[in-house]
Amino acid sequence: MRLLFLGDIVGRPGRAAIGETLPSLRERWRLDCVVINGENAAGGFGITEAICDEILAAGADAITLGNHAFDQREALVFIEREHRLVRPATFPAGTPGRGAAMVETITGARVLVVNAMGRLYMDAMDDPFGRVEEALAACPLGVGADAVVVDFHAEATSEKQAMGLFCDGRASLVVGTHTHVPTADHRILPGGTAYMTDAGMCGDYDSVLGMSKEEPLRRFLQKTPGARLEAASGAGTLSGVAVETDDASGLALRVAPVRLGPHLAEARPDFWE
């Protein structure tokens, strides 16, 4: 199976890059499943129903979220009827939505998408390891699902690496989101799980984490309240990770970074080109 995971969409540049590039990538790379983190898609803060529909129409099979999941209040409502929109399983019981979802590919294969949020340097949430364990146990790789993708939305690289090892052999891919900077540690862990500490973002990299440079810089220099952060408006870059899995086991055979657009060195899976 061919899986593509794309990091946090930040504002209009990220959405434009998805809309302009993803449809052709699906065809050229013959992708079976695309998962995208969309928690910053609405101007950098949350996601709206219209934007969710736009991302799905461009070719995403599932959208994961993070700490900005409900910055747009309408998400509290439409997440209940859109099963392909997945918020962190670590939100308290009773939070609208779901922390895991099963999506079906065009070939009928089943892909379990799990979303969790870290606790180091983040808002206090439920234990991410416990919530991920519940999802993996309820739908084991190779039994209940043909592939398993875990999006771990976390700040600390140590916590992300620990989650990768925790899931090794039980997931096709464990990938980190949230820090918006792609890491260079893509690899297949000893048990067969593809891993990358952070997928980076889909957005304008001529920015501070996808936001217009002026206000973040001013805050660092002056340490005083100021204007609201605004998403940058330049050309967007797609950033993420590509994984090819074994059809029998669901474990990873190949993994490669994906970076398509300005400002970053281009990277693409040569085993699909």
Among all residues, which ones are annotated catalytic? 68
How far is residue 168's CA from residue 141's CA, in Å, rounded to a whole number? 11
Tokens linked to 152: 């771990």
Question: DSSP 3-state assignment of 176?
Answer: strand
Pair 215, 227: CB distance under 8 Å: yes
Closest to 167 measured CA to CA, from 197, 199, 145, 189: 189
How far is residue 107's CA from residue 128's CA, in Å, rounded to a whole number? 31
The neighbour count for residue 137, using CB atoms within 10 Å, is: 10
Which strands sit side by side in the sheet containing 110-117, from one edge to the other? 100-104, 110-117, 147-153, 173-177, 194-196, 187-188
Strands (E), 38-164: 62-64, 85-86, 100-104, 110-117, 147-153
Tokens linked to 110: 């089943």
Tell me which residue has tokens 């990091």. Answer: 7
How far is residue 214's CA from residue 208's CA, in Å, rounded to a whole number? 9
H or E element in which residue 137 lies? helix 128-138
